[in-house]
Amino acid sequence: MRNTFIILVNLLLFSGFFCSCEKEEGEGGEGSIVGKVFKVVDDGYIYSYNSVFDSNSGKTDLLNIIKANNAILNKMYGKNAPSVAEMDSFTAICNYYTLLLGRMFHFGKDTIVGCDEDVFIVYGNHEYGFDDKVKTSYDGTYRFNYLNDGNYKIFAYNDNMDGKEGVVYDVKLDGGQVYGGDFYINDGKNANLCGVVGYLEANFPKVDENFPGVDQRVYLREENGLTTDDCRVDENGFYVFAKLKPNTVYFVWAITEPQKNEGLFASVKKFKTGAAGSIVPGPFLQPIVN
């Protein structure tokens, strides 16, 4: 009986010894968690994927869709209402346009490194508060050093229109250094907005040819607005406006010069933006350039 008691005591002592050797999450180890923070300067910029097309067929289809879409839009906003067939065609065109548009254009983030930003760490899995925080360095890097192995949470705050929102990453540390993840800190200014992409084909009567209106200026104004925005047509003939209000009617135009010494006038078209976060087809513009 005495021997059994001694054995039990020894087992308890040994089990307590091994348990005490298992270090909890926190400082005292040799591990580290690193990552980067980026400050989003513009979260409503529209980038193009023009190079993904293996041939000109995709671009040709896109231009045809813009032209057809423009014809329907003109009738929709004119005196005559479109027919059922035209509306069905318009819906099909928009669906196909969206498919192609998604291949060529998308919203992206224009960023700079986020220096002097707060990043927080939680030791273990508790849900409240934080255990430590660090400031990012000049190049946006954050680093938590001297950590034991285990489970951690890393988080930073993202600014939205409705306030701050925590972005959280779960990180498992098992020796050495692990990458905690990248944080993108938005300013919330461009949330819930949308964009438009259209095509401008300049007509040159002197040579009786139409060409992509590279570097031509396109203007835009909200239907009930007072201020005007403008952009330059890119090397492929596309004009792009971002940060537009959703479900809102806009005017878009280019300056045309029909004959020399007869003055300039604007060729104005209308379009309506879609839901927040969408890129809609813009009217096809064809100014005369002498």
Segment-wise mean pLDDT, segments of 10 residues, the chain, 290 residues: 51 46 79 92 73 58 75 68 76 74 77 92 87 95 95 86 77 91 77 84 73 90 92 90 90 78 72 84 81
Helices 84-104 and 57-76 sit at what angle, rounded to 10 degrees? Answer: 140
**Which tokens is 209 given?**
């040819």
In angstroms, the CA 158 to CA 167 distance is 7
Helices (H), 48-157: 57-76, 84-104
Which pLDDT value is given to residue 17?
43
Which pLDDT value is given to residue 132?
94
The size of the chain, in residues, is 290
Q: What are phi and psi of 50, to 5 degrees?
A: -55, -30
Claim to verify: residue 176 and residue 249 sit in the same structural domain = no
Which pLDDT value is given to residue 18?
45
Claim to verify: residue 206 and residue 166 sit in the same structural domain = no
Which pLDDT value is given to residue 95?
74
Which pLDDT value is given to residue 67?
77
**CATH code of the domain containing 88:** 2.60.40.10
Enclosing domain of residue 256:
193-290
In angstroms, the CA 261 to CA 147 distance is 77
Question: Which residue is it, tokens 């537009």?
Answer: 244
Whole-prediction pTM: 0.61
Nearest to 74 by CA among 281, 287, 234: 281
Is residue 11 assigned to a domain? no
Enumerate residues 6+ apart whose C-beta is below 8 A from 28: 146, 147, 148
Claim to verify: residue 52 and residue 186 sit in the same structural domain = yes
Is residue 1 assigned to a domain? no
In angstroms, the CA 37 to CA 119 distance is 9
Is residue 2 assigned to a domain? no
Is residue 230 assigned to a domain? yes
Is residue 36 assigned to a domain? yes
Which pLDDT value is given to residue 129?
85
